Structure 1
Amino acid sequence: MDLDFKEQLERERKKVEDVFDFKNWKIGRGTYGHVYKAKKKDGLDTREFALKQIEGSGLSTSACREIALLRELKHPNVITLLKVFLSHHDRKVWLLFEFAEHDLWHIIKHHRSSKQTKRFDCPRSMVKSLLYQILAGIHYLHCNWILHRDLKPANILVMGEGFERGRVKIGDMGFSRLFNCPLRPLADLDPVVVTFWYRSPELLLGARHYTKAIDIWAIGCIFSELLTYEPIFHCKQEDIKTNNPYHQDQLDRIFNVMGYPMEKDWEDIKKMPEYNNFAKDFKKSNYQNCSLAKYMEKHKIRSDSREFVLLTKLLIMDPLKRITTQQAMDDIYFKEDPKPTEDAFECFKDIPYPKRECIPEEESDHDKEAHKNQQHMHHQQQQHQLHQPPDKRMRMNPTGPQQQANQPMNLMNQKQNDSNFNPQVHFNLHKIFKIINIKYAQNNNQRMFYNRNQSSNNLNQPHIHPDMMAQNQMQNQHQHPNQQHQQNHHQIGQQKNR
């Protein structure tokens, strides 16, 4: 690039620190970056924004996914990406979003503490409005053949006072993927997805070809948490960092709530890659008295209520029998009064939930642990690229049982039949993800070819890193002559013995 043009471009490019004031306003810290509350320095725009700084230097794969998706998507219940700032001097990437004052994690936490003091419960009309908006946002993604793959209360944002008061915004699209025609099985690209407590049984049993049913299961978990203020499948997290999707403790927690999965209810369970481990570790007799109805009755949710009936349709073991977002939105639960509203806080004159608090800039123990988790996950992804498991297929149908018989064979026909499908959005996203996947496959093939050549050339030689070899040569040059003579004499003696 021409040096003068580069310097001119650098002078003309707006820097995020020149446009926004966000120092000492950090409001969140995740595995993939920091989040700051920001305001424009010129004072002309009084709105508040959210600035997400991507962890590390340069554009990561997660950042590329999130930017590529959010640039093409537009829906009232999906977070809006306003601008992307690239900082060349320190290779930082900043994403500018609309600011949401609340999220479901903090709302549920507030009610959990209020439950102990018996101050007030979460109004049922608010729960209904929150759930309906979540379903509407995920329905928009699914209509455009996008899986979110990381639904949890912390990623469900809710707008505070203002024009969009009480509006749900689905955020954190870093794990999202197109699922209609991937170049490789989704399990190869990301072996472990969805936060632990919200991971569906088919993922825990190693399903390699999964569908939008994994998002439906996560929505069911969030719905239960809104009703009871407790994570329904809470379990220990010692093995959350593992690359192996199978986890005995998490499955045990699911069966303690839902009961043991019967083969007549889940026909494809025997086709799961981890079925042998499942059959060895679990016995039907241990879960005879377990059911979702008994669990919810402990939290004062009757089994004949409308919310319980909808919950049972969302939390079905067999992914083929799990209902779709459209079927859930058409459920009678949303037809009865009080009906869902665009403002989830309509039942409150003043929003009773605390606003976001700024956290110190210095790294806490939680931040350090999150940073370690990120490095560990990155290392596991590199190891997984070098050792890909063989393909294992299973019967999967993205629609529910009522639509299975009438499902069109042509994907484009199915897309055109849905009014929410946007062909231009799907075409642009398909091109972007195809380029990313092709580059991913090329890099992996080059790495495997290099490893095979290295192993064949050095079959009978121990592997020595080039840096270590150079270091040994430097040490040999500075050795004392007597030491070199002793080493040579020792090597000659070993050759004679052989």
Structure 2
Amino acid sequence: MNRRPWGQHPNIVTVREIVVGSNMDKIFIVMDYVEHDLKSLMETMRGKKQVFLPGEIKCLMTQLLKAVHHLHDNWILHRDLKTSNLLLSHKGVLKVGDFGLAREYGSPLRQYTPIVVTLWYRAPELLLCCKEYSTPIDMWSVGCIFAEFITMNPLFPGKSEVDQLNRIFKDLGTPSELLWPGYNELPAVQKMTFAEHPPGGLRQRIGSDLLSEAGLSLLQGFLTYNPARRLTADAALEHAYFKEQPVAIDPAMFPTWPAKSEGNRRTTHSPRPPAGGAAYAQYARSDSDDTLGFQLHARSLNVAPGFSLKF
């Protein structure tokens, strides 16, 4: 079956050309201009006490899922999905951007670095130092983004890997071998003891006035501990949430806001994406934390070995 190049999709930012300057230190990527990134737009909306309506959330999520499905169908892991990497045009078209941590993957799976995905959107298997992972890590990020569209705030804004895990376990319940076969064998689990939290906290965080039962089911499908049972992008597109009223609005009907270039630029505050082990020196542990298994050693800054852009 012939497939179009993976970078050519209406919901993926288009690279027009790559321009090399006077030397190889000056390389410029020329992309389509898109008016907003969603994190900055949501900050502006929060300042004006605005929220996304249910039909607008479904419009955004449908486009995001189509983009992610296209990437996964073409054997690409994004590995850094977050609201600041999602662009929104004045025509209501969402585009996934920033493929700096992306890489090709294959079958059978190989071991990759777990130091990927910006902390707030990082799947628990990565936080627990699993090195063999696949498309479910992107789907966990999609779930965090979905919750952020609903509440207009990050779902798990952790300050460190341990804090991130504790926030996740508090809302979703502490995982177990029964829920997640292989959980007890994860490197960090063998060296750490977590407080026991019951499930059910997610509904308390996101009230029924903000999200229907079908919507909660979809969110829980994304935020499933066992990667093998986590919802896929194509399955999510068929979920009952998208069929109940109100349905997704047409992108052309999406409201517009002034672009950054049309007014004062707002600053945003969120964790930086991983840039290799050297960027994790800030997370160096004290001696008392060495037993937690979170010692991080220097790594090469080549975070995406073997990855090449194809358009």
Shorter-normalised TM range? 0.7 to 0.9
After superposition, the C-alpha distances for 1:376-396 in whole angstroms (9 at most, x for unaligned) are: 4399999335xxxxxxxxxxx
Q: Secondary structure at the match of 1:354?
A: coil
Tell me the CA shift for residue 290 of structure 1: 5.5
Q: Pick the aligned partner of 1:283 from 168, 175, 195.
A: 195
For the residues of structure 1 that align with 2:277 and 2:77, how far apart are their CA atoms?
A: 25
Identify, as 1 or 2, the structure richer in helix.
Answer: 1
Q: Secondary structure at the match of 2:131?
A: coil
1:138 is matched by which residue type in structure 2?
Answer: V
Tell me if 1:293 matches 2:203. Answer: yes
Judged with a 3 Å threshold, the aligned counterparts in structure 2 of structure 1 residues 83 and 110 are, in CA distance, closer, same or farther, namely same
Tell me if 1:147 matches 2:51. Answer: no
Tell me the CA shift for residue 316 of structure 1: 0.7
Q: Is the 8 A contact 2:277 2:297 kept in 1?
A: no
After TM superposition, the structure 1 = structure 2 runs for residues 295-374 of structure 1, keeping only pairs within 5 Å, are 295-297=205-207, 300-302=209-211, 304-343=212-251, 346-348=253-255, 351=256, 353-357=257-261
- Pairwise CA RMSD: 3.3
Unaligned runs of 5+ in 2: 283-295
After superposition, the C-alpha distances for 1:272-292 in whole angstroms (9 at most, x for unaligned) are: 1111233x2x121xx237521
Q: Is the 8 A contact 1:125 1:347 kept in 2?
A: no
Q: Which runs of 4+ in 1 moved over 6 A?
A: 378-382
Residue 180 of structure 2 corresponds to 266
Judged with a 3 Å threshold, the aligned counterparts in structure 2 of structure 1 residues 79 and 382 are, in CA distance, closer, same or farther, namely farther
1:269 is matched by which residue type in structure 2?
Answer: Y
Residue 57 of structure 2 corresponds to 127
Residue 209 of structure 1 corresponds to 132
Q: Secondary structure at the match of 2:18?
A: strand
Tell me if 1:85 matches 2:19. Answer: yes
For the residues of structure 1 that align with 2:240 and 2:151, how far apart are their CA atoms?
A: 21
TM-score by length of structure 1 reads: 0.52
Tell me if 1:228 matches 2:125. Answer: no
For the residues of structure 2 that align with 1:358 and 1:122, how far apart are their CA atoms?
A: 22
Q: Pick the aligned partner of 1:384 from 299, 303, 308.
A: 299
For the residues of structure 2 that align with 1:254 and 1:159, how far apart are their CA atoms?
A: 32
For the residues of structure 2 that align with 1:234 and 1:87, how far apart are their CA atoms?
A: 39
Tell me if 1:174 matches 2:95. Answer: no
Q: Is the 8 A contact 2:10 2:95 kept in 1?
A: yes
Q: Computing the radius of gyration over CA atoms, which structure comes out larger, 1 or 2?
A: 1
Q: Secondary structure at the match of 2:92?
A: coil
Higher relative contact order (CA 8 A, sep 6+): 2
2:48 is matched by which residue type in structure 1?
Answer: S
After TM superposition, the structure 1 = structure 2 runs for residues 444-455 of structure 1, keeping only pairs within 5 Å, are none
Q: Report the identity percentage.
A: 32
For the residues of structure 2 that align with 1:111 and 1:217, how far apart are their CA atoms?
A: 25
Tell me the CA shift for residue 293 of structure 1: 1.4
For the residues of structure 1 that align with 2:22 and 2:233, how far apart are their CA atoms?
A: 42
Tell me if 1:200 matches 2:123. Answer: yes
Unaligned runs of 5+ in 1: 1-69, 238-246, 386-431, 437-498
Q: Secondary structure at the match of 1:174?
A: coil
Tell me the CA shift for residue 233 of structure 1: 0.3
TM-score by length of structure 2 reads: 0.81
Judged with a 3 Å threshold, the aligned counterparts in structure 2 of structure 1 residues 258 and 180 are, in CA distance, closer, same or farther, namely same
After TM superposition, the structure 1 = structure 2 runs for residues 381-460 of structure 1, keeping only pairs within 5 Å, are 383-384=298-299, 433=306
For the residues of structure 1 that align with 2:118 and 2:62, how far apart are their CA atoms?
A: 22
1:166 is matched by which residue type in structure 2?
Answer: G
Q: Secondary structure at the match of 2:66?
A: helix
